[in-house]
Structure 1
Amino acid sequence: MIQRKLKLISDLKIELQNCDEIWIAVAMVSDSGFNYIQNHIDNDAKQNFLVGIGLPTSPQVLRQLKELNALDRFNSRVYHKTETLFHPKAYIIRTNDNLIAYVGSGNCTEGGFDKNIELSIKIHDQDFCNGLIEWFNTLYKHSNEITEDFLESYEILFKKRKERMREDRAELKKIFKNESDVFNLDEIDFANQFFKKEHFQAFEGRKPWDESPDAVKQRENVRQKLYKLNRELFPLVESKKWNIDRHYSPGHVVSSAIHSQHTAQDLSAIWLHYGRGMNEIKEYGENQTPLDYMRLQVIIHHNNIGIWNRIGKDRGSQIDRDNLKSNLKNDSGYRIEMFNLIERFPDEYFIQLNNERRFVRTFENENQLADYLLRADYNFYFIIGVEIHPGDSKLSEKNILETIIKSFDLLYPTYELIKHKF
């Protein structure tokens, strides 16, 4: 029997629970994909991994596999041949004397199991499954052991590859329309809205790269609108007695509308932000500025208004990021406290890191949340927040201040918990 499977996440969870042995041959394994297997598989099951590195398999996973190879129930190798990309996605599972196999497009990653558009088939034919095991064993004999020398070299290359992938994604944005380009502002009623159609239009198409006077003027109009919002919002922030302040330089309370060496090449958003005051910033060094520290912010894009705890921009907020990771690794009470805070958020709130976004309801316990947060790569934005579409009544002139303050009420405790303190 052959069955079509669009998502592997539910099926695999069931099949792994009581299995005796699994063979996994995939082009890529991520931290989340490997953890998913380990969290659901029977503790006594034998595991066989054959992993490619033509795609960016996690070096942390490879190191774990190397260490686990010391156990009798683990066998793992890397398959790599010059000019040949190892690209299969096959999972063969034995329970008692019965074999099943999943063959398709899904790598051993969160995307491959759940988030991406994938297609797999579940196969019950025993001859076919045994043939797959023979195929696996043949390739395994011609594969490479995971050695310390290999890992040290691969970890260096992995960092460079991740940076190149980031640059590739930025380039593709210039060629292909993304989701925000599909968003039709003409169909929205902006009557009584705080932000008007022209504010969102300032970021459409190629305008984020446009340095012409007209484009700069459009972005500057957005910037002045955010200054108006600040004049109405900050007194409410002060009344909350939160330990956050505006940028100590009035000209930087709202981000720039002009391209410079301190901005991204694409000014695809402008934001209003609150965080550490000047005295707190200068504790880290006289030359330090709020630019590299965590903040609460209201940010406008072409297709939404974000209300965020922006923990770190790409290659930013190292001190706060390290503080979070250290506490998650070493303090079980801290993990529980963080999970309890995240549980308070409504369903539409998300955590974004490494260019991945997960909504808060996808975390079942503090360990799942901690595992996800610990994956945060310094090279990518790290955000907890919510995004609201143009025209939503929450963004009306009447409601926008209440909307932001309610969101800050939820986000501020995460800011305080993550924030490094002397």
Structure 2
Amino acid sequence: MISKRLFPDLAPLLNSADVIWVAMALVKETALKQLLAEIKNEHASVKFLIGTDLPTEPKALYHIQSRLSDNFLARLFETSKTFHPKVYLLQHGLKYTAVVGSANMTLGGFQDNIELGVFVENQDDCIEIQKWFTKLFHAGFPINKDNIALYENRYNETKEIEGIVRRSRKSGFKKPATGNPLEGIDFGNRYFKYEHHWAFRPVLWEDRSAAANRERKAAYDRFFELHSQIFPLFAQKNFRELAHHHIDRFIVSHFSHQDGYTSKQLKSIWLSYGKNNELLNQYRNKYSPRDDDDSENTQSFINHARLQVIIHQNDIGIWLFFAKGNGGSELDRRHFRDKMNSSKVYREQFFKACQKLRDPYFIWLDENVPLSSFEDEDALHTFCKSDHSSNHFVIGRDFRIEDPEVSLKEFPDTVMREFEKLFPLYDMMRDKEFG
């Protein structure tokens, strides 16, 4: 078996292993703890052989030292030659499985880096690996206080120099221009990866092939992961009446062309939240009781105001969104127009709510205008009068792929934070005929 993301494939083998051998060139404490937490058999025999040529963290060695016992043995390996293996050998009963690859024991190696690992099931090969490990292990040095202290001194002296060298190594290469705007972006710590954005390059906008659908499906699946992270938090934030589509497969928009549902050009997909189905049924019963087909029904989920996260080739948007066409969120737009036209207090409240956002937020009708460009509520009102159901109506912001707010760790929190900012506008602008 070939593994491109090591840890999810390795963890099930760790869970029930009887014996575990690990030969690793570089170990970091966070990844070490993650790996050890997966060893569920309290009677398992574990042996670590760790190199000192790469910058293994001293605190990882201290952690290993604290675990040493009759069933948990570990040694340092150091010779005049560089120790560079990344090998796991696991025994379950009489059966061996080896994992040999490029990934060090780091979080990057486990999940985010471009790595490759091979799972070896051939028992003769595994026995050869076990003999290789045992020979090196006997030549190793004990992991004790004195040896860790000696290594730590060298580690601290060289860490800064190695960092400078590493940065300079990565700054000298240039690639010819390719016309790909994603070239040169480091996606290692991005929530949405290269393939998620690249699926929305112009050449695929009208592509209905199975291959194009597979590319877009990866972004579709990633949005469902985001949904599982953020939706359980809505109740804490008092996002009243903010629900996902009542049909699970439509929680995220279509990744393939669907007549009546998608435009001719699939430039993006999105995850959105709006009125719940109980409310929508009341709208359907009053305004379009004969339209059972959700694609034709002007009171479907997509034809009401929504908060959404949207991905394009070059950016990620978090928006308050009113659709165009197919009903064009007409009831929400009409409610907003009537309020703006009839109430100075409402216009002032709307302006103040928009001013709290300011840069880099924009409002989009037939053009994209920064919210900070409006001097007062009358100027904003004049602009909003150009609203028409043939255009999208958007208030929100776009994030560059490189922005820290859309990193793997930060993005779910970013979405919740942006929804908190946009929800007051959503609540002001949505139609409330049925609550």
Q: Are the equivalent residues in 1 in contact too, given 2:303–2:322 (CA < 8 A)?
A: no
Aligned twin of 1:376: 387
Q: Are the equivalent residues in 1 in contact too, given 2:358–2:370 (CA < 8 A)?
A: no
- 1:359 matched to 2:357? The reply is no
The amino acid across from 1:310 in the alignment is: F
Change (3 A) 1:308 1:248: same
Q: d(CA) in 2 for partners of 1:292 and 1:302?
A: 25
Q: d(CA) in 2 for partners of 1:308 and 1:221?
A: 22
Q: d(CA) in 2 for partners of 1:234 and 1:308?
A: 16
Q: d(CA) in 1 for partners of 2:396 and 2:179?
A: 23
Aligned twin of 1:267: 266
SS of the equivalent of 2:234 reads: helix
The amino acid across from 2:249 in the alignment is: G
SS of the equivalent of 1:283 reads: helix
Q: d(CA) in 1 for partners of 2:322 and 2:235?
A: 21
State the shift of 1:415 in Å: 0.4
Aligned twin of 2:344: 332
Aligned length: 241
Q: Are the equivalent residues in 2 in contact too, given 1:328–1:374 (CA < 8 A)?
A: no
The amino acid across from 2:344 in the alignment is: S
Aligned twin of 2:281: 282
Aligned twin of 2:216: 219
Change (3 A) 1:294 1:183: farther
Aligned twin of 2:19: none
Q: Are the equivalent residues in 2 in contact too, given 1:292–1:312 (CA < 8 A)?
A: yes
The equivalent position to 1:391 in structure 2, one of 402, 405, 408, is 402
Per-residue CA distance 1:305-332 (angstroms, 9 max, x = gap) = 0000002334510000011111111100
TM-score (norm 2): 0.54
Q: d(CA) in 1 for partners of 2:324 and 2:389?
A: 8
Aligned twin of 1:250: 248
Per-residue CA distance 1:328-377 (angstroms, 9 max, x = gap) = 111000000000000000410000002x0100110000000011111111
Aligned twin of 2:84: none
Aligned twin of 2:144: none
The amino acid across from 1:184 in the alignment is: P
Change (3 A) 1:274 1:353: same
The equivalent position to 1:304 in structure 2, one of 315, 319, 324, is 315
The amino acid across from 2:270 in the alignment is: W
The amino acid across from 1:411 in the alignment is: L
Q: d(CA) in 2 for partners of 1:242 and 1:300?
A: 23
The equivalent position to 1:404 in structure 2, one of 410, 415, 419, is 415
- 1:343 matched to 2:336? The reply is no
Q: d(CA) in 1 for partners of 2:236 and 2:321?
A: 22
The amino acid across from 2:232 in the alignment is: P
Per-residue CA distance 1:104-134 (angstroms, 9 max, x = gap) = xxxxxxxxxxxxxxxxxxxxxxxxxxxxxxx
SS of the equivalent of 1:310 reads: strand
Per-residue CA distance 1:236-286 (angstroms, 9 max, x = gap) = 223212120111110110000111111101111000000000111111114
The amino acid across from 1:219 in the alignment is: R
SS of the equivalent of 1:187 reads: coil
Q: d(CA) in 2 for partners of 1:263 and 1:233?
A: 25
State the shift of 1:191 in Å: 1.2
Aligned twin of 1:322: 334
Equivalent residue runs for 1:76-155 within 5 Å: none
TM-score (norm 1): 0.56
Aligned twin of 1:192: 189
Aligned twin of 1:59: none
The amino acid across from 2:272 in the alignment is: H
Where structure 1 has 5 or more consecutive residues not aligned to the other structure, the ranges are: 1-180
SS of the equivalent of 1:186 reads: coil
SS of the equivalent of 2:230 reads: helix
Q: Are the equivalent residues in 2 in contact too, given 1:351–1:357 (CA < 8 A)?
A: yes
The amino acid across from 2:257 in the alignment is: H
Q: d(CA) in 2 for partners of 1:297 and 1:412?
A: 11
Aligned twin of 1:413: 424
Aligned twin of 1:140: none
Q: d(CA) in 1 for partners of 2:414 and 2:302?
A: 25
Aligned twin of 2:67: none
SS of the equivalent of 2:283 reads: coil
State the shift of 1:400 in Å: 0.3
Q: Are the equivalent residues in 1 in contact too, given 2:280–2:301 (CA < 8 A)?
A: yes
Q: Are the equivalent residues in 2 in contact too, given 1:350–1:386 (CA < 8 A)?
A: yes
Q: d(CA) in 2 for partners of 1:238 and 1:222?
A: 26
Change (3 A) 1:182 1:309: farther
SS of the equivalent of 2:254 reads: coil
**Which of these two proteins has the greater Rg computed from alpha carbons?**
2
State the shift of 1:205 in Å: 2.6
Q: d(CA) in 1 for partners of 2:234 and 2:384?
A: 28
The amino acid across from 2:334 in the alignment is: D
Q: d(CA) in 2 for partners of 1:416 and 1:197?
A: 35
Q: CA RMSD in A?
A: 1.4
